[in-house]
Amino acid sequence: MSFASLSLSDFLLRSLETLGYEEATPIQAAAIPVVLKGSDLLAAAQTGSGKTAAFSLPIIERLAGMEEQKAKPRFLVLVPTRELAVQVGAAIERYAEGAPRKARVLVAFGGVGYDAQMKAAYAGVEVVVATPGRLIDLAERRSVVLDEVEMLVLDEADRLLALGFAEELNTILEMLPEGRQNLLFSATFPQNVVSLANALLKDPVKIELEAASRPVESIAQRAIEVDGNSRTGLLRHLLETEGWERVLVFVGSKRRAENVTVKLQKHGIKAVALHGNMSQDKRARSLERFKQSKVRVLMATDVAARGIDIAGLPCVVNYDLPRSAADYVHRIGRTGRAGESGLAVNFITDDKDAHFRLIEKKNGLRLERERLEGFVPENWNPEDPAKGKAPVKGKRPSKKDKLRKAAAGKARGSGGNKDVSSPWARALRKATGEEG
């Protein structure tokens, strides 16, 4: 659908043209009219779907029609991480470039000093993009007063809750006025997100798009079996043979991020780390160097990489597997964005074989396992997923054991990389009363 048919102002259409956005993505086409109309919105969408513009364009459109507001913000966007805050703030400023007057946007996140953010807040802001903790700090100092907010956007609501922000969210909700518009975007719909949506939204319009709810199927995925201590070698081998321009590699710990980065550097591969123990400055620098293709490999932990948008990222590698099926979707969603093709490569060690099968099952996937010459595992002893933990000798199987066995049997029987209605799509339908 063209942006012109979405009742956006000419200055916005020009901005979008300059950015090379030819058509609205499905989430934009569905959400923009709803948001402009003033309805509450519940949307299943992840990074890569174009969700930022889906809420940012209506915000800018509404701002353009308002008197300049110097005192209190009218629009509040809550995000789970600093990186996402910076990214969303930058997107809003970019889209608003040709506006009749400059939008006053405050981007607020922790881990840096208060001075600059407080100064910006005192100068007057219309839109606040913030992580919850820092926003509360600023509100308690009365730098930001939230009682005239007209629209609240919860971006990546599942991550906000997964990162433990439930209490902060409640504190913020209490500061907001009644009668405002609320938008909730989430990639997944576990019970806590469903409860939040029910408590927050009034008669929301629900948007659940095919592509948004099943992103993993549009990304090519590989699963390579390898010994744990051969993974760095395998990564180097793939970097040498596959011609990937840039790779985002996920690891499970800060220490691993550092260690593997150093090992790659020793072999002349340009790599940097991105993890939570680094200062905000250092994290920003790593990300920037990677975005500008000055380094080829970004070794990142989940928290640090959450939500970051890197245009044209051809490949994501799971050096360590993610903890949950939802994290898998978030990670591989970094590649293949906005219609580009993408590749996700998973390193499977024997002790994580059963875990990966569970991730596949929950996402309705079944990937063919590969073994590469020179990296064939020498000790492949996967746990039998039907048994879970090794049974105690002589013990009769418990009810749980039997259930587990039945579930594993079913999983094995399902086969094929075929569509299974995704769990979060089902949860969304259930939450919204469309499924019993």
Distance in Å, CB of 46 to ligand AMP, minimum: 7
Binding window for ligand AMP (CB under 6 A); candidates: 24-32, 220-228, 399-407, 417-425: 24-32
**Pairwise CA distance, residues 78 & 128, whole Å:** 8
Interaction of residue 199 with ligand AMP, rule CB under 6 A = no
Distance in Å, CB of 338 to ligand AMP, minimum: 3
Binding mask 336-375 for ligand AMP (x = CB under 6 A): -xx-------------------------------------
Distance in Å, CB of 396 to ligand AMP, minimum: 51
Q: Are 94 and 15 in contact (CB under 8 A)?
A: yes
Q: Which is nearer to ligand AMP, 199 or 311 (CB)?
A: 311
What's the burial of 392, exposed, middle or buried (CB within 10 Å: 0-12/13-18/19+)? exposed
Interaction of residue 49 with ligand AMP, rule CB under 6 A = yes
Bridge-based pairing state of the strands 41-44 and 127-130? unpaired
Helices (H), 224-324: 231-242, 254-266, 280-291, 302-305
Interaction of residue 53 with ligand AMP, rule CB under 6 A = yes
Q: Which is nearer to ligand AMP, 87 or 261 (CB)?
A: 87
The single-letter DSSP state of residue 371 is -
Geometric angle at alpha carbon 161, from 176 and 180, rounded to 5°? 20
Interaction of residue 25 with ligand AMP, rule CB under 6 A = yes
Distance in Å, CB of 16 to ligand AMP, minimum: 7
Q: Strand pairing partners for 105?
A: 127
Q: Which is nearer to ligand AMP, 196 or 212 (CB)?
A: 212
Interaction of residue 48 with ligand AMP, rule CB under 6 A = yes
The CB-based long-range contact list for 253-260 (8 Å cut-off, 24+ gap) reads 253/301, 253/320, 254/301, 256/299, 256/319, 256/320, 257/299, 257/300, 257/301, 260/232, 260/235, 260/299, 260/319
DSSP string, 375-395: ---SS--PPPTTTSSPPPTTP
Query: How many contiguous H segments (helices) and E segments (strands) does the chain have?
Result: 18, 14
8, 29, 34, 51: residue in contact with ligand AMP (rule CB under 6 A): 51
Count of Cβ atoms closer than 10 Å to residue 24 Cβ: 23
Helix (H, G, I), strand (E, B) or coil at 153: strand
Q: How far is the first Cα of the chain from the last one, in angstroms, to the nearest whole number?
A: 33
Distance in Å, CB of 306 to ligand AMP, minimum: 12
Interaction of residue 134 with ligand AMP, rule CB under 6 A = no
71, 311, 390, 392: residue in contact with ligand AMP (rule CB under 6 A): 311
Quick one: which H or E segment has residue 13? helix 10-18
Closest by CA to 137, choosing from 117, 157, 162, is 117
Q: Which is nearer to ligand AMP, 8 or 321 (CB)?
A: 8
Binding window for ligand AMP (CB under 6 A); candidates: 20-28, 240-248, 256-264, 422-430: 20-28
Interaction of residue 95 with ligand AMP, rule CB under 6 A = no
Q: Which is nearer to ligand AMP, 1 or 403 (CB)?
A: 1
Binding window for ligand AMP (CB under 6 A); candidates: 47-55, 186-194, 205-213, 389-397: 47-55
Interaction of residue 50 with ligand AMP, rule CB under 6 A = yes
The single-letter DSSP state of residue 75 is E
Binding window for ligand AMP (CB under 6 A); candidates: 21-29, 186-194, 218-226, 288-296: 21-29
By CB under 6 A, name the binding residues for ligand AMP: 21, 23-25, 28, 47-53, 309, 311, 337-338
